[in-house]
Structure 1
């Protein structure tokens, strides 16, 4: 008998990847103003993984996994965290947090195309409409003159797109891979592996170490929030959803995250929100509706059968 998800857990998990992850753009943007990006991400994920294992021991949860599961957590950790997150943090040195989140909202398109290529999965017409609207929104975002004229912004946006491909591959891989059945432990190992690889990358690129006691209060608070909420809670929710919900539906979080990121970036960092950005955001949210509607129709048809 297959394990069935609890509705309340699914709802809370979606809240985590929608709202909490939307706020991580602001926290990363604040932290990267003082800390080197790869070391920042490494500290975040290694700290989170250690806390997860400590909590697991206290709760009596076994942290033993098989050799195959260990190898799979290395792959997932690289795709999601080492490259998928570490490079995004690096790109935030050159791109506003809200703009970065808006670009990443095109990820559902990447996921659908990758599923079509590797799994031969048919793309639902309603999903195509949602993705089309999402692409219009992305075009409206990146075509703004103050972005086009800034060479560093173009580099940052290009690298973020590469991260989207990495996250898309990771989403599909995790949905089928043999990973620890406990989502808390699964998260811990992915963060441990991703954090170790980020630390190696930080050393290779010659990043400097900064004593945490020398960080500003804003950076210290941002790191605490990133470790507890952005890493442990939200990423555990993400892994939970990938086992019970299709990857393209989980990827719709990248449509909602930008709205949260834009509002927080505007409020706390005084980042510019243009009329064109607002129009783009509205179109992206409309895309969410179409993708979710397509999923509901598919589930209803299966139920009738």
Structure 2
């Protein structure tokens, strides 16, 4: 596949994949924080991704897919480590000491890095006022959504150095995620997407193992002491977050532009807030409602840019 074209796909499948990425990943921040209360971070990362990788490998075998193409494994491993070990692993680490809402804010800078790093789409993205405006408005909306939590966090001077270092790490995570996504889009598209996804997940799980050994995480860790909530969270992260969510994400990268797919980073915090309102009896303020409206408007702007390009291309083709 060339760098400038996307594969065709059923509109219904695209909508379903976006729904999974938007809604399921919006809930994973909460479940990561729940899981990391019972599991050390590197053990959690290894368990989550190795188990998900084994499930995916089993599905590949059932489907008769060719799992062991060396070139495909190499490309998948590189993108998987960038995406899931650095991108998601840093989130796991930071959520030991940082609220999930704040994590979602910082990670929402990912669409900015998609635009800056996606060189084949520079001419398209930087010429589109809708994309640039949507991207900046979306980031502003996320900050507004969590503005009250931000002010509370930085009102405690003793925690500021830790929070600042965590935010720097999360910024690196967003860059790694964007880089890994673009590598996956342009370099890992040969062969079956399900096989690519399997090796991306498996490579990330294996990459967590040295961290377990270096930090000696098994010392003092007892499986029987892990609370049931953490086990439930782990199962959710394996099945929904990794197998369903990440598979949908990798597939979307092949059929839609990286900029459009990256809108998940704006929608995920919205989902996280709404889940808190409906299932944890959290209150939503007028400022948060304004943030939600702004974020959804930004996603509409970004997607409308693509819609207008497609309509123009159809008119030219049919003229």
Q: When the two structures are superposed, what TM-score results if normalisation uses the length of structure 1? A: 0.90
CA distance in 2, matches of 1:228, 1:254: 20
Structure 2: segments with no counterpart, 5+ residues: none
1:208 is paired with a residue whose SS is coil
Structure number with bigger Rg: 2
CA contact (8 A) 1:72 1:179 kept: no
Q: Greater shift after overlay, 148-157 or 273-282?
A: 273-282
Indicate how the Cα distance of structure 1 residues 181 and 271 shifts in structure 2: closer, same or farther if over 3 A, else same. Answer: farther
Contact 1:45–1:192 under 8 Å retained in 2: yes
Correspondence for 1:170: 180
Could you say which residue in structure 2 is the equivalent of 1:205?
215
Distance 1:4 1:134, change over 3 A: closer
Deviations along 1:245-299, one digit per CA (max 9) or x if unpaired, are: 0001000011111111123345666778665444333322221111111111122
Give the stretch that moved more between structures: 106-115 or 206-215. 206-215
Q: Which runs of 5+ in 1 are unaligned?
A: none
Residue of structure 2 equivalent to 1:222:
233
CA distance in 1 between partners of 2:172 and 2:132 (Å): 22
Q: Which residue of 1 aligns with 2:123?
A: 121
Cα-to-partner distance string for 1:189-221 (whole Å, 9 max, x where unaligned): 001111111122232233336344432111111
**Distance verdict in 2 for CA 1:275–1:99, change over 3 Å:** farther
Describe how 1:25-174 pairs up with structure 2 within 5 A. Answer: 25-65=29-69, 67-116=70-119, 120-122=122-124, 123=126, 124-140=128-144, 141=146, 144-149=150-155, 150-151=159-160, 152-174=162-184
Deviation at 1:176, TM superposition (A): 0.8
RMSD of Structure 2 on Structure 1 (CA): 2.4
Cα distance in 2 for residues equivalent to 1:265 and 1:158: 26
TM-score, normalisation: structure 2: 0.86
Structure 2 distance, partners of 1:155, 1:275, is 30
Please name the residue that 1:259 is paired with: 270
- Alignment of 1:232 with 2:243, yes or no, is yes
